[in-house]
Amino acid sequence: MESVSLGLSLSLVFLVAGWGPTGMALATHHGPCKQVHRAVDCTGRWQGTVPADLPADTQALSLDHNTIRTLTNASLLQYPHLETLSLRENRLELIEPGAFLSSRDLRNLSLADNALGTNYAVTAAALGSLPALRKLDLSGNHLTEDMVAAMLRNLSSLESLSVARNLIMRLDSSVFEHLGQLQELNLEKNYIYDIEGGTFEGLLGLQRLNLAYNYIPCIVEFGLTQLKTLNASNNVLEWFLSAEGEAVFELETLDLSHNKLLFFPLLPRQSKLHTLLLRDNEVSFYRHLPNATALLDVTVQFLVTEGNTTNITTLSLWEEVSSSNLSSLSFLDMSQNQLWYLPAGFLGRMTSLSHLKLNQNCLETLHIQDREPLGELTDLDLSHNRLGDLQLGLGPLPSLRALNLSANRLRSVPPHTFAHTWITTVDLSHNPLQLCPQQASADGAEDPVCMDLRNIASLRRLDLAGCGLEVVPSRAFSGTPLTHLDLSNNQGALARGPQPLRAIALMLQVLSLRNTGLPPSGEDIDFSGFQNLLSLDLSDNSLTSFPESLSGLSLQTLDLRGNRLPSLPLHALQKQLGRCLSVLYLSQNPFDCCTLEWWDFLHQLRTVNVVDRGQVTCNSSSTLIGAERLPASILQRCRWKTVNMALLYLVLTLPACLTLLVALAVIFLTFKHKLLQLVKSQYRVSSPY
């Protein structure tokens, strides 16, 4: 029988393989190397040389993570058809000048993480004989700018070059002089502090330039019109100024995050910019400073020196900022800056904006006016600012889906804010909010100190964690079909149980009631209406017994940490709850070590993952013991405890029983005669004598 089923599964495997992609040829092995088609993989074999016994028609050869020190003239002689060669993470110090003479087809060469700085002049001569090379990776080789320049001298066909993680400090036009075909250049993680004008000018095909993690203090007269992506993140940039003029830039993505920019960058007038990343800078707008009238006409003068000529550029910052056409911008990240307001009309120019991140600034007000057409905006993050209630005017945002207002100073949001949107997600956590006990009146005389969240038909996810809610009024969310609700850390908000949520109970799938002051007795907490709930967090309440109503739910995740539960009821785990549950948190409860049948049952179930298993403890004579491995002595003590209890009962009931027995005997003896007579008289009729 078993052999039959084995045969069946084997043939199944072959069937599946037969249907797989056509390239599923079996790998063959050459010594330590693995070959698939014309690609040979000798990764991580501690090889000190290039293996000589590989097929002569090998096209791709990977020798990563080996210990090769020298690539000799003869190393690659047998493999004239190599197109891709990778020697990452070896100990290469020298490539002999003739090493590549036989590899005329080599297109793709990775020499990352070696020590090619050691004999760079010889290695440069070897690279010079690769005029067809398209892609070269020299990252992590301790190369200075002069070494790089020498190595690139004859590589005019290069399309992609990485010299990341080297020792480059300055760049001028001589370094990349001949790389007219270059499309992608990675200079990440060097020590570049100075880039002379004209350095990249000869690179007419350059589309992607990565300068991240260097020490560049400013970029002025940025004029690489052909560039599509510029990554200058993680430098010390204080200025980014594009060249003046009406030239159309191809620029699509500009990453200036993690710098020291003080002003919004001066962008090209015309570009195709769709992603602008300014996270973690010091950008602010200064026109509204207390005595800023004097600042209105401030101009900034830049001295641009090249050789011994000096040009002075004068910019009037306020005008320039607003003169670029940002109609294609769709993603703008200005988080972690110093913004305390946005100039009027600032967003109005960004007609395609879909994601706007303004979190972690000091915004006190935000007004989006009717004439700022943010019709495409779907995600707006305003978390961690200083927004107060009446200073938030979200104008027409018809496409808005997600609004993050977490950690502000909002006491309410005008009830009509969400009226004409398709908003699905609102995060209002960590605001000093209270919910309105009644529906806000339609005549606009809304209660200014509370927030009405009823009848927002599109809303599905709402976060009200840590708002200091005193109470959740009954029917607080009626007409708002929430599936995800977080009410955690509102101490006392649900002191009367989850009844206020009854209107939306059937919709809810994920509910967090952590630290909401639920009533301690599980009997007072009725979850029977929450039939679609999948995840429930009841941690950090003071539950002293398990809410029985949970046993009929199909929960997948349940969090009971930090309560006062002595045990879980076994029968609850045997019902629907036990069948569906897959993730359970239980730590920080004073479970009783002597009534852990339920714990053993959970183990047997195997379907439940008690995530904090190791931290679950039980209480035995006031000491806490890990429940996972209970010492035998504890079990014995528990057994003794039950035996002792039985003895105690025996001792207590024995005298009573004895007394009763004696009394019965006395009664019997006293009335024995009468009783016998009574019996006799009863049977007299039928007695034969």
Ligand X SMILES: *[C@@H]1O[C@H](CO)[C@@H](O)[C@H](O)[C@H]1NC(C)=O
Contacts to ligand X by CB under 6 A: 73, 84, 86, 96-98, 108, 110, 125, 128-129, 131, 135, 154, 188, 197, 212, 231, 233, 253, 255, 289-291, 304, 306-309, 311, 325, 327-328, 359, 383-384, 404, 406, 425, 427, 463, 590, 619, 621-622
Using the Cα atoms of residue 531, residue 525, residue 570 and residue 609 in order, give the sign of their dihedral.
Answer: positive
Q: Closest Cα to residue 665, out of 652, 650, 657, 679?
A: 657
Taking a C-beta distance cutoff of 8 angstroms, is the pair 47, 66 a contact? yes
User: Based on CB atoms, which residue is closest to ligand X, 257 or 516?
Assistant: 257
CA-based nearest residue to 629, from 603, 647, 590: 603
Shortest Å distance, C-beta 115 to ligand X? 19
What minimum distance in Å lies between the beta carbon of 270 and ligand X?
6
Residue reference for tokens 């029977």: 528
Nearer CB in complex with ligand X: 333/559: 333
Query: What is the torsional sign of CA 46, 50, 52, 53?
Result: positive
Report the residue closest to ligand X, judged by CB: 98
Residue nearer to ligand X on the CB measure, 278 or 608: 278
Rg of the chain over all Cα atoms, to the nearest angstrom: 39
Q: How far apart are the first and last CA of the chain?
A: 81
Closest CB to ligand X among residues 306, 597? 306
Measured from the CB atom, the residue of 228 and 502 that comes closer to ligand X is 228
* 529's tokens: 């209406």
Give the residue with the Cβ less far from ligand X, 515 or 551.
Answer: 515
Range 284-290, long-range pairs (CB < 8 A, 24+ positions): 284/337, 284/338, 284/339, 284/340, 285/339, 285/341, 285/342, 285/343, 285/346, 287/318, 287/343, 288/341
List the one residue out of 276, 274, 280 whose CA is nearest residue 265: 276
Amino acid letter at 143? L
Measured from the CB atom, is 428 or 440 closer to ligand X?
Answer: 428
Task: Yes or no: say if 268 and 324 are a contact pair by the CB < 8 Å rule.
Answer: yes
SS (H, E, C) 310-343: EEEEEEEHHHHHCCCECCCCCEEECCCCCCCCCC
Contact 139, 164 (CB under 8 A): yes
User: Considering the complex, what minimum distance in angstroms separates the CB of residue 196 from ligand X?
Assistant: 10
Nearest-approach distance from CB 65 to ligand X, in angstroms: 12
Closer of 431 and 551 to ligand X (Cβ): 431
Q: Do residues 279 and 334 lie in contact, with contact meaning Cβ atoms separated by under 8 Å?
A: yes
DSSP class of residue 613 equals G
Relative orientation angle of helices 632-670 and 672-683, to the nearest 10 degrees? 70
Nearer to ligand X, 317 or 577 (CB): 317
Cβ distance to ligand X smaller for residue 349 or 475? 349
Question: Quick check: helix, strand or coil at residue 389?
Answer: helix
CA angle 445, 446, 452 (to 5 degrees): 155
Task: Give the Cα separation of 96 and 69 in Å (integer).
Answer: 11
Look up tokens 């020196």; give the residue. Answer: 305
Residues 6+ apart with CB under 8 A from 61: 39, 40, 42, 50, 54, 79, 82, 84, 85, 86
Residues 6 or more apart whose Cβ sits within 8 Å of residue 240: 218, 219, 222, 232, 256, 261, 265, 266
Smaller CB separation from ligand X, 126 or 472: 126
Choice between 74 and 583, CB closer to ligand X: 74
DSSP SS3 for 218: strand
- Cβ atoms of 354 and 330 within 8 Å: the answer is yes
Least Å distance, CB 419 to ligand X, is 21
CA separation for the pair 277, 251 (Å, rounded): 13
Q: Which is nearer to ligand X, 100 or 585 (CB)?
A: 100
Q: From the CB of 135, what's the least distance to ligand X, in Å?
A: 6
Distance in Å, CB of 323 to ligand X, minimum: 10
> Residues 477, 485: contact at Cβ < 8 Å?
yes
> What region does 297 belong to: left with phi over 0, alpha with psi -120 to 50, or beta?
alpha
- For residue 514, give the nearest of 555, 480, 478, 558 by alpha carbon: 558
Q: Which is nearer to ligand X, 292 or 654 (CB)?
A: 292
Helix (H) or strand (E) holding 578: helix 576-580
CB of 385 to ligand X, least distance (A): 10
Helix (H, G, I), strand (E, B) or coil at 565: coil
Element holding 495 (H helix, E strand): none
CB of 516 vs ligand X, minimal distance in Å: 19
Kindly state the smallest distance separating residue 627's Cβ from ligand X, in Å: 13
- Least Å distance, CB 455 to ligand X, is 21
When the beta carbons of 145 and 252 are compared against ligand X, the nearer one is 252
Tokens read off for 86: 């990778």
**β-bridge partners, 242:** 222
Cβ closest to ligand X, residue 242 vs residue 551: 242
